[in-house]
Structure 1
Amino acid sequence: MDRTRSSSTSRRTLLKACTALVVAVTVPAVVGTPAFAAVPASPAVTFTNPIAEQRADPHIHKHTDGYYYFTATVPAYDRIVLRRATTLQGLATAAETTIWTKHASGDMGAHIWAPEIHFIDGKWYVYFAAGASNDIWKIRPYVLESSSANPVTGTWTEKGRIALPLDTFSLDATTFVVNGTRYLSWAQNDPAVGTGTNLYLAKLANPWTISGTPVMISSPTNAWETIGHRVNEGPAVIQRNGRVFMSFSASATDANYCLGLLTASASADLLNPASWTKSSQPVFASNASTGQYGPGHNTFTVSEDGKSDVLVYHDRNYKDISGDPLNDPNRRTRYQKLYWNADGTPNFGIPVSDGATPVRFSSFNYPDRYIRHWEYRAKLEANVTNLADSQFRIVTGLTGSGTVSLESANFPGYYLRHKNYELWVEKNTGTATFLADASFTRRAGLADPAGVSFESYNFPGRYIRHYNGLIQLQPLSTSLDQQDATYYTE
């Protein structure tokens, strides 16, 4: 039993007189007393996946001009494309322009891979990898530059190859700044280390020139990094609360492709490999239940209001591939919200089903707690690190009639339904009873119109509310009842 609820009767009597005064006020949490929530600092963002068919290795830059700029690998491996829109979803239908085409011969003549667009010191730069027309596996990193305000229509010049001490297979260059110092990270093979690719880091003297001696900060040593190939590649950086998180892709580019995570303190010497700690397991991997395979080569961006972090990545919606997966064109660009655990670490969750992305429901009066399922029973709990247990997709109600239904993120086809006035996550049986039990009328939050409340379709007047740590379907008679039945989407 939820200890904060064990003396609920006496607490409810005490609170009845004062709830009207505190509904709109945020107060600090006290043991045994709810902390009434303001609208969450990171409200829900939803997208409709996939965003771009046949676009792998996506990269997005949100610029100060109000546009998002998107580039990615095209299956022909022969050009660099760019599109822009004022919204993330808008990139799905934005016009696409080819800003650069591979050389007819020599270097930069084959395998144009993984472009990234960055804005550095007033100019645009695209980092990309390319092979040679006469040696397509002579993959090396290169840089383009544009001083135009609009990089989609502007002129691009070649700054050439990024010179690295080792003249070996190297790709996936990315750049980021920590405490005023700009770094370059990339993947490269070192025959002295072994087959496959490792992750390297160096300072930049300018956007196309490294400074000093690069250091290897990660090599593929875990079983999940070495399936099919020994791979660490596609580094991408996000920073939060004094820590630097670098995601990377591992294993072959089929269904075994996945994301790992390196973590360092922002105050540490990032060029000291000992400053970085690697996750013991993948942080993002294939999921058969949602039909998503080989998620990887990601980047990070932010929502339009800047309040939510967004994970951008590619995957396929099937597992079996004929031949070399590099010749399969169907990796798609996808989005979903990136969440953060209570300990300050990122929570990637699972690659969610195609269609509308899910949300979480946080409690109005216990803002650190979320509706989640555990052994199919709906509960209200904090620190739900198995993120998908607390994610639901808001879909058209199974009964129609202006209702909504809440579909489980990690059990597609399973819905939140009431049974004996308890809320469970169960598979849709298609019966009239199930359809009605799993349908709700969405209302403005009863304790705060900025929130949401859900009224039963077949038991009008009863709402989804939490009580003693469990999710129930109950009638509401007090302001505290209304608070228990109010949630925010995150």
Structure 2
Amino acid sequence: MTPEPHPSRRTFLGMAATMPLVATGALAIGAGTAHAADSAYVMVYFTESTTMLEADYGLHLAVSTDGLQWMPLNQNNPVVTPTAGAAGLRDPFVMRKQDGTFVVLATDLKGTDWNRDSVNIHVWDSADLRSFTGYRLLKLHDMTDTHSWAPEAYWDAGRGRYGILYSSVNSSGHNVIMVSYTTDFRTTESPQVFFDPGYDVIDGNMTVGVNGVNYLYHKRNQTLVGARSTSLNPGSFTAFSTPVAHGGTEAPTVVKSLTSNAWYLWGDTYTPNGVFYAWQSTDLAAGTWTALDQRLYTQPLNSKHCAIHPITSAEYTNLVAKWGAPAWNRLKSYNFPARYVRHSGFAGRIEEYPFDPYPDSQWKLVPGLADSAGVSFQSVNYPARYLRHYSYNLRLDANDGTSTFAADATFYRTAGLADSSWSSFRSYNFPTRYIRHADYALRIDPVATATERQDATFQVGY
């Protein structure tokens, strides 16, 4: 959840006094971890951008085969949008329920009206994330003058119920993480404080039953911090991990690799134009995380406050078939992986993401204008214009139909000169020259040194 309002005006009324039930039996692996058949991932999110050009408060989907490189679906448009409450969402969450179907939860808030309070959250059911049914508002508590932010859920086997975690303000005037229990995501019971360390915390993310321990990651003072407990009882969690952040960071999401013993911790920057960062650990119990190289991961364009859940390969294939892969690509710089190829003032350059207008970085890689075995870069927001070189500098020009323009705008895609899993682009009519950046400007040059090879290497993604 993005900026917390000052909580001093809020009061804690109508809190149920129900005593927590005691969890019994073995704890099952919960939200964010895998079933045996899972081999891919789905992400849910909403979108914002630096000038709010891409502010969209519907439910967005992306998929990944490795949990690091993400492909937005439905052309990065929402697949469903709330119609009740605020008629918009933030902080969506997806979980596979015990019956194998999915439930989607989200904050009832459109935009950034942080003073809007709601006792409800948005809920959808879905058999396969290709259709969404049973849309409803779900009431979580009877408190007044407080919110229900960043809902997430987990299965509590001992109670035989799902716990819904969310952030609200307690009688001391600071945010705590609450829990309300449900069997069907249609009614809730026993709302109570789940985690209150005595200071402001929001954005709870639960991982259940890892070597007998449950982990609750959350936001504290714009950092991501873990708490843990050997039970799922409210009040039993204690903070233990070393905080991580990249600037101000929120919205932690912990995900287990499906192919290794690695765990990933995702976080979202504390701004409307959020950027995701990722950390890695091979031991949740250690509570320490190492920042991942940004070359290794790419978030969906303009995505904010995500949740990630494993899916099967069939579900992955069916989601792509239903919603479609993007009709465009983005190109990430190898040696400046926070920067993407864009046009600005019709000049080609690499620039740090995020920026607006964001379509400046979207390209259609079409068959080469001079040779269909090559590629040409057609602008998404200026579709009559293509990247071409002129005096060796790359710029975005309108296709004048000449053979010279076609040759200048055609490149051969090769294995990346610095990393063969990435790509480089050799000029059609100057075959000893490659697209590279120099002082962030794009041009075609001969490439000889290690630095030049890195300058000429790009990742074609989304």
TM-score, normalised via structure 2 length: 0.49
**Higher radius of gyration, 1 or 2:** 1
Higher relative contact order (CA 8 A, sep 6+): 2
